[in-house]
Amino acid sequence: MKISPLCFPLLVQAQDDTSTLLSLKVHAALETGVDHLLDAVGSRNVTQMSSLLQNLVEETISETPVDLDADVKAALEVIKQELLGDIRGALMESHCYDQSELHAQILCYEGCDKRREIGHATCGKYCDGLEHKQCRTDLLGLYKTHITACRTLDNWVGEWHRDCEYAVKKCCLLEHTTWNCGGLCGGTIASYDVDGYFGTWLNGQLQKYREGYTRWMELYGECKHHYEVYVEQDAKCDCEQARCETQNCAWEQCHFNNCEDAYQTCWARCDAEKTGTEKEKECLEKDRKIDWSATEKIECYVNVLLEKPTEKDLLDTCGTKDCYNVYREVMYKKCNEICVDVDFGVGHHTGGGVYDEHDRNDASIHPAVITGKHTDVADHQNRQLADQDVTEEGKHSVRTTHRGKGDDKRCTAHLDLDYQLPPCCQPCEARPSPPCEEGDVNAYGGDFMTGFVPYMWHHYGQHGFLLKTDIKDFSADICYSGEHTHIYAYNLCKCLKCDANPKPPPQPCTAKRACESDWYGAKGAYDYSVHAIQVDCDAISKSDPTYKGGSIEDEA
């Protein structure tokens, strides 16, 4: 509590100067009571002060009234106006700071959202696979080209072999026998010959092989070139496939770590801190209300001691001009009707109670009166003060477990803390299927209800890369098993599977806590600016006339 040091000199003087306090028994009772009251003031025990003043009133209520000493009156006025005002200002300041802390606690969630946004940006881009798709699409055309060229070479070789003319083996190649006795004398040997068939055949074969070699070189070159182009394109596609799958595995793991792990863990921590903070503040809230209620009682008891009714007041109250004791007893009983209920209902964190939202009480309906300058005891019952609005939210609203029927018996509603709803959140987004989730790769693999599409279908199956059917409008001799099917021509590598993500921690940010979507389906972000503190809590106990200047009537 912040108790003004100005109180003590006057109270000490009242303790020393007791000769004129009251007469007879009243003198002794007040002297003892003031001594005990000074001890309570020094220890700042408001509840004890209230109890001591109650006892003092009870002990002197039936005694004949006398004029109080001026110093005693001054001391009681100091208690009412300065000390109680200081105490109430400190209670309001403490309430303001706790209310601000409840708002500040919500900003814990904002930190989670910001870190998630930063982490999201570090995950880079998801590989959509379009570059790989185009690469494989081009590969199919190159496959047809290289198969056509190489099968042309195969067919030519087969045809060329079938056209080969084999040499006929001959013997007795001499045109005439060498048994020619005397036959040479006539000079006829010039017309004799040896069969040249084989030489003619060899010369013809040489020409054919020269032409065949030239043609073979052409066809071989075509086959080799187109095969190399296909293989190079296939290697390029393999690299792009591996790059895309590796990138998507890293992307998936990054977003898992950023959202299912870090973001959800952060929200769980904020939830726990919010619950702990509210439990702590609820205890402090109740303590403040007990102290405030005690100040109201103190003010009322001091009013009883200071009250000097007119004859009309006495006649109106108890029917005679000298029924002062009866009048004071009536006043005293009214003190017992002040702040009958410190709280209403059971606190949420102490075993029950449900938070409800109530319109905020404003100063136009409930003037802020905390200094204790009122002397009309009857008005205490209706002295509800305005609710603090530390964020300048306006009328809507105060969320508490304490308001409801019976509020007319409370003087502490303005100390009801406005417990904040937790913000809405953005649940972890549904991400694309990670590599290499199968599904039915040769038929539509999506789920029309959930929109889920397996990775293998999305990246490969829907493009026909894994079809085992023959390529349409294409035929050629088959040299190896599976040739001329789509899956053979596209020639995908085995998919690179991602490392399995660990089991995620509990996920507090679920669809039930998600921010509402607009009619386009876009999620609206929570507006944390509504928790920005707009008031100076120090001003409540130091300089704010609303809280230090007394009642509306006093100010007028």
**DSSP calls for 470-530:** BPTT------STTTTBHHHHH-PPPP-PPPPPPPPPP----GGGBPPB-TTSPBPPP-GGG
Is the pLDDT assigned to residue 156 strictly greater than 50? Answer: yes
Where is pLDDT greater, at 546 or 179? 179
**DSSP calls for 236-275:** HHHHHHHHHHHHHHHHHHHHIIIIIIIIHHHHHHHHHHHH
The pLDDT of residue 542 is 59
Where is pLDDT greater, at 182 or 400? 400
Look at residues 342, 408, 343, 413 and name the one whose alpha carbon lies nearest to residue 381: 408
Look at residues 477, 426, 459, 449 and name the one whose alpha carbon lies nearest to residue 153: 477
Neighbouring residues of 507: CB distance < 8 A, sequence distance ≥ 6: 260, 264, 427, 428
The pLDDT of residue 369 is 45
Is the pLDDT assigned to residue 451 strictly greater than 50? Answer: yes
Virtual torsion, Cα 367, 369, 375, 381, nearest 10 deg: 60
Neighbouring residues of 172: CB distance < 8 A, sequence distance ≥ 6: none
State what percent of residues in the chain have pLDDT above 90: 44
Is the pLDDT assigned to residue 51 strictly greater than 90? Answer: no
**Is-contact 260 507, C-beta < 8 A?**
yes
The pLDDT of residue 10 is 39
The pLDDT of residue 555 is 32
Mean pLDDT in residue range 476-484: 92
Q: What 3-state DSSP class applies to 175? A: coil
Q: What 3-state DSSP class applies to 110? A: helix
Is the pLDDT assigned to residue 263 strictly greater than 80? Answer: yes
264 band by pLDDT with thresholds 50, 70 and 90: very high
150 band by pLDDT with thresholds 50, 70 and 90: very high
Where is pLDDT greater, at 452 or 542? 452
Look at residues 368, 356, 343 and name the one whose alpha carbon lies nearest to residue 418: 356
The pLDDT of residue 374 is 43
The pLDDT of residue 89 is 87
For 60-76, the pLDDT digits (tens) are: 666 655 566 677 777 77
Query: Among the ranges 116-125, 345-354, 411-420, which has the highest mean pLDDT value?
Result: 116-125
Q: Which residues pair with 485 in a beta bridge?
A: 470
258 band by pLDDT with thresholds 50, 70 and 90: very high
DSSP secondary structure code for residue 129 in this structure: S
Is the pLDDT assigned to residue 39 strictly greater than 50? Answer: yes
Q: What 3-state DSSP class applies to 545? A: helix
Is the pLDDT assigned to residue 27 strictly greater than 80? Answer: no
The pLDDT of residue 326 is 85
Angle made by CA atoms 515, 517, 523, in degrees to the nearest 5: 65
Cβ atoms within 10 Å of 281's Cβ, excluding its own: 20
Mean pLDDT in residue range 387-399: 90
Cβ atoms within 10 Å of 509's Cβ, excluding its own: 24
231 band by pLDDT with thresholds 50, 70 and 90: very high
* Distance separating alpha carbons of residues 190 and 184, to the nearest angstrom: 9
**DSSP calls for 362-425:** -TTTS----S-----GGGGGG-PPPPP-TT---SEEEEESS-STTGGG-S-GGG---PPPPPPB
Residue type, 338: I
Average pLDDT, the chain: 80
Q: First CA to last CA across the chain, in angstroms?
A: 29
- How far, CA to CA in Å, does 492 sit from each of 90, 140, 207, 332, 469? 76, 12, 46, 95, 15
- How far, CA to CA in Å, does 266 sit from each of 347, 375, 513? 27, 54, 15
Virtual torsion, Cα 289, 290, 294, 297, nearest 10 deg: 70
Is the pLDDT assigned to residue 447 strictly greater than 80? Answer: no
Mean pLDDT in residue range 115-143: 96
For 323-339, the pLDDT digits (tens) are: 888 888 888 888 888 88
For 405-428, the pLDDT digits (tens) are: 656 677 888 899 999 999 999 999
Q: Which residues of 288-321 are buried (b: 16+ CB within 10 A; e: fewer)?
A: bbbbbbbbbbbbbbbbbbebebeeeebeebbeee
Is the pLDDT assigned to residue 229 strictly greater than 60? Answer: yes
Q: Is 456 buried (19+), middle (13-18) or exposed (0-12) by CB count in 10 A? A: buried
Based on its alpha-carbon atoms, the radius of gyration of the chain, rounded to whole angstroms, reads 52
The pLDDT of residue 22 is 38
For 11-20, the pLDDT digits (tens) are: 434 334 333 3
